[in-house]
Structure 1
Amino acid sequence: MAEQYAGMAIGVFELESECICFVALDAAAKAADVKIQAVERNRLKAGACVKMRGTVSNVKAAMEAALDAAKGRSKVVSHTVIAAPSEDTETAIAMTIGK
């Protein structure tokens, strides 16, 4: 599975509401050409983390759309874009998805 994302940027955002994560990822997918890699429940009460992949510009545009969609609906716990993930980062991402 990791091979299909080789060379792609990673965008990760975490919200306090799993439901709003789906609203936000829908907005992200509609705003830019990104692939949703995973949605994972987090250790917060009802939150989740979304991982998406694509070109740096597409991931940034998708992240902006996702955070905008979540604004006022759920607290954004964290978010980041990794433009060029290292091999170790790819391994760590793959391990968390395989849980």
Structure 2
Amino acid sequence: MEPKVISVEIFGQQLHLKSAADPSYTAQLAEYVDGQIRKVSRQSNDPLKVVLLASMNIANELHEERKKQEESAEIVARRADSLLQKIERSF
């Protein structure tokens, strides 16, 4: 897909982003980031601190999801090995 420029607003700032992703997907990401920043902004008036805290929260979410995915992949691999061993023993 050819990169397109999409305008989004995050925390009151208009941004023009060039992305090959679907514009609606980019808009969804911007809405999510905006929501996370606004949630944290209740705790501080310092814009830099707000953005850093929101970034840490988003990074934590990403890390936790990756950890869950790795754990699920390990479970699937163990189950697949177990099934393969059962199949091999049946022959």
The structure where strand makes up a greater share of residues is 1
TM-score in same-fold range (> 0.5): no
Calculate the TM-score normalised by the size of structure 2.
0.27
Select the structure with the greater relative contact order (CA < 8 A; seq sep ≥ 6). Answer: 1
The structure where helix makes up a greater share of residues is 2
Calculate the TM-score normalised by the size of structure 1.
0.26
